């Protein structure tokens, strides 16, 4: 297994902006305060800063609640085991990314 040093935010940015990925292929495993570990489609989330989002209109969680990402049913990044198939098996650099400057 590949050991991850990438943060949740790094993984989210890579999935959103790298042309190699289709966001519809991803599921997010996160800790819900009431229901425990839950999975939802990546595209349902508003990945903005949680302090700037209207909770009534957008689905947003703090990034520290994300435990893993799945792509087409396979876990490709897991915080607990430090598995990273997002960066490590895809050349580590994001050559095809169009990440906006923030």
- The token pair at 14 is 């890579």
pLDDT at 100 over 70: no
Region 65-73: what's the mean pLDDT?
A: 96
pLDDT in tens, 21-55: 999 999 999 999 899 999 999 999 888 766 666 66
Identity of the highest mean pLDDT range in 8-17, 60-69, 92-101:
8-17
In contact, 23 and 40? CB cutoff 8 Å? no
DSSP secondary structure letter of residue 1: -
Q: Give the closest residue to 26 by CA, choosing from 37, 15, 18.
A: 15
Dmax (CA) for the chain in angstroms is 40
Q: What pLDDT score does 47 carry? A: 84
């Amino acid at each position: 297994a590949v050991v991850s040093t990438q943060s949740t935010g790094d993984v989210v940015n890579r999935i959103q902006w790298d042309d190699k990925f289709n966001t519809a292929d991803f599921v997010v495993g996160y800790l819900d305060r009431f229901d425990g570990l839950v999975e939802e489609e990546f595209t349902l989330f508003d990945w903005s800063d949680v302090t700037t989002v209207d909770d009534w209109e957008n689905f947003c969680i703090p990034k520290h609640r994300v435990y893993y990402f799945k792509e087409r049913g396979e876990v490709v990044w897991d915080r607990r085991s430090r598995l990273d198939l997002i960066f490590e098996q895809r050349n580590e650099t994001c050559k095809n990314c169009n990440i906006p400057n923030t």
